[in-house]
Amino acid sequence: MSFELTILGCSSATPTRTRHQSSHFININNKYFLVDCGEGTQQQLRNFRIRLQQINHIFISHLHGDHSQGLIGMVSTMHLLGRKEDLHIYGFIEGLKQIIDVQLKYSETILNYKIVYHNLRSDIPEKIYEDDSLTVETIILKHSLPCCGFLFAEKEKPRNIKKEFLEKENIPFEMFNKIKSGEDYINPEGVFYKNEEITYPVHSPRKYAYCSDTMYTESIVPQIYGVDILYHEATFTEDLKSAAKEKFHSTAFEAATIAKTANVKELIIGHYSARYKELDPLLNEARSIFKNTYLAEEGKKYCIS
Amino acid sequence: MSFELTILGCSSATPTRTRHQSSHFININNKYFLVDCGEGTQQQLRNFRIRLQQINHIFISHLHGDHSQGLIGMVSTMHLLGRKEDLHIYGFIEGLKQIIDVQLKYSETILNYKIVYHNLRSDIPEKIYEDDSLTVETIILKHSLPCCGFLFAEKEKPRNIKKEFLEKENIPFEMFNKIKSGEDYINPEGVFYKNEEITYPVHSPRKYAYCSDTMYTESIVPQIYGVDILYHEATFTEDLKSAAKEKFHSTAFEAATIAKTANVKELIIGHYSARYKELDPLLNEARSIFKNTYLAEEGKKYCIS
């Protein structure tokens, strides 16, 4: 039951020789998602030997080019490779659809598959994806354009019934699923069992929160509280705090403060300004506040066990 | 006096792990041109340590994505790096301008420099660029969309006057430029000197022809006759001739036939289909017709001396 994140691009708006624009590939129990799609994302997927066609859901946080300019390339290549399956694109659709459509129009491309667009709202978080085991919610970020982060969360799984209880009590068949769903139990003799006493959770639902691009905003804390991995942009170091604020970005210090306040298990920082040849200043700054911080590194897999 | 071509991308529509979409960087006497701009072109320029901002003229052959999807990234990055100088874009402008404009609009980007668009016609060749030493003409190609190649040609330079003639005759000052421009000379005693006897050429104007994408068409031969380097697409080998024809592309055999018929000095083939892991079959096929054929290799410089 995998829950893996692969960073495809960790640069901010201007890519560098070694860093690409934003994109994250997520594999949750062999369902494959792409979050943001900067220029060159399809090439990075190839570099890391990830098959494009298995991706059925692409989430675009906002319409700055470094998060979206690679989308038309993905759409085109999926077409050229013979895709038939629907592709779901989540984003601010008015612009995104026009950007895709005008390029398809002038290249005279009629896709041999369907794009299903899902529009985002920029005012309050909403659930935008759900399947039997997973939900994706938007996180409202604070940027110079309408911008959403995304919270990938496993659903609560039915609890397991304790073995010793099963051995002790002769539970009627129809009660099994009810107890697993959290109901208490009263046996034929009237003995009351509280659910927590007779069951245990399978494992806590795993959660990954993607927050890029945003300036420092504590409004996201309740929603991302306790997540296993928080990816939070850290475009600048604290000495450039005013530049960060002006450009609606965060410093490493601010990203770490959010991680600490939200009591997350692990913080990954990324979206580095091209000015940083070495990333240690960003990492050290964040770790001074929140020890369990890691750098986003392209091609590296981050797993939640 | 450099005349150098650097291949940035040699793949056809679908990039591979090691091959990028079409783009050529050309340096002619420290004037810098970009021809086509597939996705990832800005990254390739960085990979090969070529400075983006020195490029003032970008030529887009046609509106298939593998030749144009990197343009918005170039335009955006030039803006982010503080460009002030005009950027000239040559292409089928109705579509190209819409593609750029819609992306600038939705990213709320107001460029701090001006794009000067130059529209191409698709019916007859035309001179689209000229400076003191160079011209660029379109070459009408035969593809599934309106598509132009480009002929970069140095201008004829004034001839040099032979030293022995200068020593023998006392030439009036006003005659110098006339003789250099090709005029004959009659001295005060009435002795006639034919221009070819008293001058010699500096060197023959160097020429580079870019022909991608196109099916086999002999109509381009007169225009590219004798060029120093012909880049001609060779998407397929001859066993896939019918696929080539159907997709308005050429085989290596056909590219070489054009090179031979046009008596060019050197042929570079490229725009390889992703199906070719090894490129020797394409090279060998072309060389069987035209010996002086070379493979387009990304990052390699091809110089005309």
Express each pLDDT in A197-243 by its tens digit.
999 988 889 999 999 999 999 999 999 999 999 999 999 999 999 99
Which tokens belong to B45?
A: 């320029």
Same domain, B249 and B288: yes
Quote the minimal CA–CA distance from A64 to chain B in Å.
5
Domain finish residue from B200, B221, B256: B200
Tell me: do A252 and A187 sit in the same domain: no
User: Considering only alpha carbons, which residue of chain A is nearest residue B273?
Assistant: A80
Region at A100 (left for phi over 0; alpha for psi -120 to 50; beta for the rest): alpha
Query: Is A169 found in the same domain as A35?
Result: no
The shortest C-alpha distance from A207 to chain B (Å) reads 30
B228: annotated active-site residue: no
Residues B41 and B185 in one domain: no
Q: From first to last of the 305 residues of chain B, give the pLDDT tens digit.
A: 799 999 999 999 999 999 999 999 999 999 999 999 999 999 999 999 999 999 999 999 999 999 999 999 999 999 999 999 999 999 999 999 999 999 999 999 999 999 999 999 999 999 999 999 999 999 999 999 999 999 999 998 888 999 999 898 888 888 988 999 889 999 999 999 999 999 998 888 999 999 999 999 999 999 999 999 999 999 999 999 999 999 999 999 999 999 999 999 999 999 999 999 999 999 999 999 999 999 999 999 999 98
Query: Number of folded domains in chain A?
Result: 2
Using CA atoms, how far residue B19 sits from A46, A241, B153, in Å, is: 11, 40, 28
Q: Which amino acid is it at B228?
A: D
Find the CATH number of the domain harbouring A278. Answer: 3.60.15.10
Residues of A in contact with B47 (CB under 8 A): 17
Reduced to 3 states (helix: H, G, I; strand: E, B; else coil), residue B148 is strand
Q: Are residues A15 and A59 in the same domain?
A: yes
Question: Is A60 in the same domain as A166?
Answer: no
Token pair belonging to B105: 């609009």
pLDDT over 90, % of chain A: 91
pLDDT score, position B202: 83
Nearest CA in chain B to A144: B108
- The alpha carbon torsion through A68, A73, A78, A84 (nearest 10 deg) reads 60
- Nearest-CB residue to A102 (from B13, B46, B99): B99
CA-CA distance, A61 to A283, in Å (whole number)? Answer: 24
- Best mutation target among B8, B10, B14 (most A Cβ atoms within 10 Å) is B14
Q: A49 and A190: one domain? A: no
Residue B289 is classified by DSSP as T
> Which residue reads 């001839």 in tokens?
B159
Residues in chain A: 305
Cβ distance A63 to B13 less than 8 Å, yes or no, reads no
For residues A26 and A165, membership in a common domain is answered with no
Of B174, B200, B226, the position where a domain reaches its end is B200
Same domain, B248 and B104: yes
Domain that holds residue B149: 3-157+203-303
A15 and A128 co-located in one domain: yes
Given this model, what pLDDT does residue A215 score? Answer: 97
Do A172 and A222 reside in the same domain of the chain? no
Cβ–Cβ gap B13/A81 under 8 Å: no
**In the Cβ-directed half-sphere of B127, how many Cα atoms lie within 13 Å?**
8
Confidence of residue A263 (pLDDT cuts 50, 70, 90): very high
CA distance A283 to A270: 10
Burial pattern A99-130, b for ≥16 Cβ within 10 A else e, equals: bbebbbebbebeeeeebeeeebeeeebeebbe
* B243/B249 Cα distance (integer angstroms): 8
A64, A69, A199, B101 from B111: Cα distances, Å: 14, 17, 61, 11
CB contacts, 8 Å: A66 with chain B:
76
Of A77, A94, A144, the CB nearest to B14: A77
This complex has an ipTM of: 0.89
The whole-angstrom separation of Cα B241 and Cα A140 is: 54
Where does residue B222 rank: exposed (0-12), middle (13-18), buried (19+ CB within 10 A)? exposed
CB B294 within 8 A of CB B267: yes
Place of tokens 């490229």: B270
Where does the pLDDT of residue A1 fall: very low under 50, low under 70, confident under 90, or very high at 90 and above? confident
Note the Cα B117 to chain centre separation in Å: 18
Question: Could you give the CA distance from residue B256 to residue B142 in angstroms, rounded to a whole number?
Answer: 17
User: Model-level pTM?
Assistant: 0.91
Distance of CA A102 to the CA centre of its chain: 29
> What is the structure's pLDDT at B256?
98
- Rounded to 5 degrees, what angle do the CA atoms A202, A203, A207 make? 140
**Residue A63 to residue B106, Cβ atoms within 8 A:** yes
Region A173-182: mean pLDDT is: 90
Residue B188 makes CB contacts below 8 A (sequence gap 6+) with none
What is the per-residue pLDDT across A32-55, written as a single tens digit (0 to 9) for each?
Answer: 999 999 999 999 999 999 999 999
Q: Token match 């060029």: residue? A: B227
> Which of B11, B39, B46, B76 is the best residue to mutate to test the A interface, defined by the most A CB atoms within 10 Å of its own CB?
B39
Amino acid at B233: E
Q: Which helix (H) or strand (E) holds A201?
A: none
- For residues A151-161, give the mean pLDDT: 92
Which residues on A lie below 8 Å from B147 (Cβ)? Answer: none
Q: Cα separation of B103 and B86, whole Å? A: 19
Indicate the length of chain B as a whole number.
305
Domain co-membership, A166 together with A33: no
Q: Is the dihedral of CA B49, B52, B57, B62 positive or negative?
A: positive
What is d(CA A115, CA B44) in angstroms, rounded to the nearest whole number?
Answer: 30
Closest residue to A20, CB basis, from B43, B98, B102: B43
Give B285's contacts (C-beta < 8 A, 6+ positions apart): B237, B238, B251, B252, B253, B256
